[in-house]
Amino acid sequence: MSKHSEVVPNSTLIDDAAAALGRAGFSRRSFLVGAGALVVSFSMKGALQTALAQGPFEGGTAGSPPLNQLDSWIAIAADGGVTAYTGKAELGQGISTAQIQLVAEELCVPFSRVKLMYCDTVQTPDQGITSGSQSHPTNFNQKNLAQAAATAREALLKLASKRLGFSADQLVAKDGVISAKIDPSKKVGYGDLVGAKKFEIKLDPNVKRKSASEWTVLGTPARRPDMPALVTGQFEFVHNVRLPGMLHGRVLRPPAVGATVVNVDESSVQALPGVVKVVVKKNFVGVVAEKPWQAIQAVNKLKVTWSAGTGLPSHADFYNYLRSQQPTRDTLLVNSTDVDEKLAQAATVVKATYYYPNQMHGSLGTSCAVADVQGDKATIYSPTQGVWPVRNSTSILLGLKPENVHVIFRRGSGCYGLNGADTVTYDAALLSQAVGKPVRVQLSRKDEMAWGENYGFAFVVDERAGLDAQGNIVAWDHESWSANLGNRPGYTTPGNVITGTLAGFSPEPFMARSPAPEPRVYTNNSNGVPSYVAGNVGGKPQGTGTVKSERSLTHNIPSPLFTAPLRSPARLQNTFAHESFMDELAARAKADPVAFRLRHLSDERLIEVVKEAAALANWEARPSPKPQNRRTGIATGRGFSCVAYEGENGWAAMVAQVEVNQDTGKVTVKRIFFSNDSGPISNPDGLRNQIEGGALQGMSRAMSEEVTWDDQRVTSVDWESYRSLPLGFDVPEIKVKLINRPDENATGAGETSITIVAAAIGNAIFDATGARIRQVPFTPQRVKAALSQTFSQA
């Protein structure tokens, strides 16, 4: 395998090529997960070369409105109303509001005049997957939706110039009307200029964008247009799609991992009221009934004989399992080749291992989809993050032509990554095809958590660093182990998704590779490289730090359970390790954690967020742990953490202030201070909402969330066995400092805050108590164990 594989720099992978690769069945994340580098196999390399040879991605998937045509993005009605089309979905984070602001701004129309259509394989351009904090960078910089809106404005000015007899620079566009600067009575509205006709022009790659100083809509805290419908129960989620004659499906998942269908006794439910059909396809089993409650009862009573399961590795020993499996897929992100030598010469060598468990997306509503498959055509309402790959892969699942499958995005419950949205879409498609009628499927809570979820990755991370006599870091060695199985639905196979596998398709094969090839080009998409090293690849330092002796090596193995990107995949786990370890190094050097970080950073934007968060929290410079804290009762402390998300896709730093009850091990986060730089701020209120949510979600994940299993099956299957912090816990005060950089490119903001929370809390626990906690979640038992270990050593 390895001779057919090589590491290709993700930084050279332009979005267009990435989109083309996506069409060929490879998602962006599939390259990044666990490995941190873009790993391209022989076949992928071919697709990449083809994509690059083709130049900019112009057409989307076959059938997609062409990306280089203005009419794919913007339509102006006879009354002057604007409809914008985008391939980036609203997943609940407010991106549709920001996209409306963008179009209104560039087109010089009021916010209320713009209607946004997103993610429909008949109407909107294929922009790949809505994921990876990529919607803001993709549509707000010099391409795609931003370029389309600006191109439309310039085209309208040209048309008006002809109509009014003034040159374009003598005209001004405002509120959907173009008028002469010297004589405002000479004017024409957009509706009169194009009046529901097409523009029939290409996007202008050199079109002039409005500068941030001219903004009147972008940069303001525009309110979300969906909010009134959401709070009054009028909003239509995918769960509320109701088609005429619609039936209800329910699936029956295997009782154990690896169990297969031996026999299905259809007669066991035939006499039940409302049952329409039992559907079996290999190991996929489901029932269609007239009403949802009838489908639930039928599935509960359906007699299915299953083979024994194939077994699961011990949960208690899973981190050793991760470390010890062979073969592995290895990737080197940086390697100065002198790390062992420098460590041998160091005055002090510090080592630590960090553990991060599998976690869930845990959407509040279980996944749901509605499919209407009749004959050779299908219409599917899905909460998927990628309507185009779902269109193509569902067509394979059903044996239909892709152009006969129409996928329409409808919002689901917030997903935070790849939850059960795609698998339930396949469930609905299979059941609807079997009965030739529209079928709605919503998973049970247990099916969602045990057989719908693609869990966030578990990680073991070894960190090793050397300090010189002055307490400077002279070398840093990072090595991690993680596991994955399945992926986003590819354009070419349904096998990446649980239902696709049950129905007989195979997930992407695991491609072993060891030893890892030397890195050729620097990339830090997974944040596998600590912020404090130089990131020297190809003779050029491209990292955010100063430490020249550096190595970052990752090992990936096949996972026994399905996994997929969960908010800040790999980045969060790696950053938990790096930022906890940096705190350990600072403590060993008896240095203030903030000053110690600043001493080893070179990246100006990262330095600025660090300083801003410290200032916001009135950070008192001193080493940790806090002197004179008592060893019983409540102790208080503060911790710091920061990240350059994906190396260059958002900058964030935070301070957590905690109380630790040393008698019970209970940790209460009292205050969070946060600074964030995501380039130009499109909607400050939306950005704050994201940061606040990420901070608390990060807290829940750090303090209480962990997937568990026995030797056969997942055992965390409801909100008692998988704990999420409810509204009624001690919600900390959150203060946020937004850094606006109007002249920089837009970057991601959806995953910056969550990435640094666990380390900041862990560091605060250390500051308060002197006990270091290296395993998530920080349950009271673990905190108590860390406390007793520390004091027995002391």
Partner 1 sequence: MNAINLKVNGKAHAVDVDPTTPLLYVLSDDLALNGPKFGCGLGQCGACTVIAKGQAIRSCITPVKSVEGAEITTLEGLGTIEKPHPLQQAFIEEQAAQCGFCVNGVIMTAKAFLDKNPKASEEQIQQAMSSVLCRCFTHVRMLRAINRFREGRAREGLAKEGRTREAAAK
Work out whether 99 is an interface residue with partner 1 (CB under 8 A).
no
Q: How far is the CB of 310 from partner 1 (least distance, A)?
A: 29
User: Under a CB-based contact definition with an 8 Å cutoff, are residues 521 and 9 in contact?
Assistant: yes
Work out whether 493 is an interface residue with partner 1 (CB under 8 A).
no
Residue list 670-699, contact with partner 1 (CB under 8 A): 685, 689-690, 692-697, 699
Contacts 24+ apart (CB under 8 A), 153-159: 153/106, 153/107, 153/108, 154/204, 154/207, 154/208, 155/70, 155/199, 155/201, 156/76, 156/107, 156/190, 156/193, 156/194, 159/193, 159/194
Is 112 near partner 1 (CB under 8 A)?
no
The distance of closest approach from Cβ of residue 7 to partner 1 in the complex, given in angstroms and rounded to an integer, is: 36
Which segments within 120-169 are labelled E, that is strand?
A: none
CB of 175 to partner 1, least distance (A): 25
Q: Which stretch binds partner 1 (CB under 8 A): 91-99, 309-317, 327-335, 617-625?
A: 91-99
Q: Least distance to partner 1 from the beta carbon of 689, Å? A: 6
Q: Which is nearer to partner 1, 622 or 670 (CB)?
A: 670
Asked whether the beta carbons of 773 and 762 are under 8 A apart, the reply is: yes
Instruction: Name the H helices within 549-652.
Output: 571-588, 593-599, 604-616
Question: Pseudo-torsion of CA 336, 535, 750, 8, nearest 10°?
Answer: -70
Question: Residue 594: which of 627, 628, 571, 617 has the closest Cα?
Answer: 617
Per CB under 8 A, 160 contacts partner 1 = no
Among 123, 170, 216, 240, contact with partner 1 (rule: CB under 8 A): 240
Print the binding letters for residues 703-722 with partner 1: x by CB under 8 A, - otherwise: ---------------xxx--
- Per DSSP (E only), the strands in 493-648 are 536-537, 540-541, 549-558, 634-644
User: CB of residue 237 vs partner 1: minimum separation in angstroms?
Assistant: 7
Distance CA 794, CA 792 (A): 6
DSSP code of 273?
A: T
- If the CB atoms of residues 235 and 791 are measured against partner 1, the closer one turns out to be 235
Residues 787, 769: Cα–Cα separation, whole Å: 7
At 506, is the secondary structure helix, strand, or coil? coil
| Segment holding 459, helix H or strand E | strand 459-467
Q: d(Cα 510, Cα 39) in Å, to the nearest integer?
A: 12
Instruction: Rule CB under 8 A: say whether 489 interacts with partner 1.
Output: no
Rule CB under 8 A: say whether 389 interacts with partner 1.
no
- Kindly indicate which of the ranges 203-211, 290-298, 543-551, 781-789 contains the residues binding partner 1, using the contact rule CB under 8 A: 290-298
Of 56 and 732, nearer to partner 1 (C-beta) is 732
Q: Which span sits near partner 1 by CB under 8 A: 187-195, 255-263, 441-449, 657-665?
A: 441-449
DSSP assignment of 677-705: E-SS-S-HHHHHHHHHHHHHHHHHHHHT-
- Give the shortest CB-769-to-partner 1 separation in angstroms: 26
Greatest distance between any 2 Cα atoms in the chain: 87
Closest CA to 302 of 247, 259, 370, 249: 249
Considering only residues 291, 301, 303, 401, which one is a binding residue for partner 1 as defined by CB under 8 A? 291
Least spacing, CB of residue 698 vs partner 1, in Å = 9
Q: What angle do CA 345, 351, 354 make, to 5 degrees?
A: 155
Q: Which of 1, 78, 230, 344 binds partner 1 (CB under 8 A)?
A: 230
| 3 state SS of 763 | helix
**Binder among 237, 403, 607, 666 for partner 1 (CB under 8 A):** 237
Smallest distance, partner 1 to C-beta of residue 732, A: 9
Q: How far is the CB of 488 from partner 1 (least distance, A)?
A: 20
- Whichever of 93 and 624 has its CB closer to partner 1, that residue is 93
Buried/exposed 255-287: b ≥16 CB within 10 Å, e otherwise: ebbbbebeebeeeebeebebbbbbbbbebbbbb
How many residues of this chain interact with partner 1, rule: CB under 8 A? 63
Nearer Cβ to partner 1 (365/490): 365
> Which of 78, 224, 55 lies closest to 690 in space, CA to CA?
224
Do 154 and 148 form a contact (C-beta atoms < 8 A)? no
- Minimum distance between the CB of residue 431 and partner 1, rounded to whole angstroms? 17
Please tell me whether residue 301 binds partner 1 under the rule CB under 8 A.
Answer: no
Among 1, 196, 229, 308, binds partner 1 (CB under 8 A): 229
Residue among 29, 113, 248, 571 that touches partner 1 (CB under 8 A): 248
By beta-carbon proximity to partner 1, the closer residue of 97 and 336 is: 97
Give the torsion through C-alpha atoms of 667, 673, 678, 679, to 10 deg.
Answer: -170
**What amino acid is encoded at 80 in this protein?**
G
344 lines the binding site for partner 1 (CB under 8 A): no
Q: How far is the CB of 24 from partner 1 (least distance, A)?
A: 31
User: Judged by CB under 8 A, which stretch of 229-237, 315-323, 530-538, 576-584 contacts partner 1?
Assistant: 229-237
- Residue among 91 and 589 whose Cβ is closer to partner 1: 91
Binding of residue 730 to partner 1 (CB under 8 A): yes
- Selected from 115, 202, 209, 445, the binder of partner 1 by CB under 8 A is 445
CB of 685 to partner 1, least distance (A): 6
d(CA 429, CA 284): 12
Our finding on whether 791 is near partner 1 (CB under 8 A) is no
Joined tokens for residue 558: 């096949």
277 vs 440, beta carbon nearer partner 1: 440
Task: Report the residue from 22, 36, 59, 362 that binds partner 1 according to the rule CB under 8 A.
Answer: 362
Least distance between partner 1 and beta carbon 415 (Å): 8
Indicate whether 235 belongs to the interface with partner 1 (CB under 8 A).
Answer: yes
Q: Cβ 378 to partner 1, closest distance in Å? A: 23
Work out whether 1 is an interface residue with partner 1 (CB under 8 A): no
CA distances from 8 to 3, 336, 391, 424, 523 (A): 14, 19, 28, 34, 9
Q: According to the binding rule CB under 8 A, does residue 724 interact with partner 1?
A: yes
Q: How would you class 348 by CB atoms within 10 Å of its CB: exposed for 0-12, middle for 13-18, buried for 19 or more?
A: middle
As a whole number of angstroms, the distance between CA 339 and CA 413 comes to 46
Beta strands 667-677 and 733-739, pairing class: parallel
Tokens describing residue 325: 């499996």
Do the beta carbons of residue 184 and residue 171 sit within 8 Å? no
Task: Choose, by CB under 8 A, the member of 727, 792, 793, 794 that binds partner 1.
Answer: 727
Give yes or no for residue 169 binding partner 1 (CB under 8 A).
no
* Among residues 41, 554, 700, 747, the one that binds partner 1 under rule CB under 8 A: 700
Smallest gap from residue 660 Cβ to partner 1 (A): 21
Residue 728 sits in the site that holds partner 1 (CB under 8 A)? yes
Nearest to 135 by CA among 793, 693, 649: 649
Based on the shown chain and the rule CB under 8 A, indicate whether residue 500 belongs to the binding site for partner 1: no
What's the rounded Cα separation, in Å, for the pair 116 and 141? 18
By CB under 8 A, residue 101 contacts partner 1:
no
Instruction: Calculate ∠ Cα 622-345-601, nearest 5°.
Output: 40
Residue 731 CB, nearest distance to partner 1 (Å)? 5
Instruction: Return the closest-CA partner of residue 87 out of 407, 379, 392.
Output: 407
Q: Does 224 bind partner 1 (CB under 8 A)?
A: yes
Residue-by-residue DSSP string for 8-33: E-GGG--HHHHHHHHHTT--HHHHHT
Binds partner 1 by CB under 8 A, chosen from 734, 746, 749, 787: 734
Q: Is 414 in the site for partner 1 (CB under 8 A)?
A: yes
Q: Is 42 in the site for partner 1 (CB under 8 A)?
A: no
The residues that touch partner 1, with contacts defined as CB under 8 A, are 91-94, 223-224, 226-237, 239-240, 242, 248, 273, 291-294, 362-366, 411-414, 416, 442, 444-445, 685, 689-690, 692-697, 699-700, 718-720, 724-731, 734
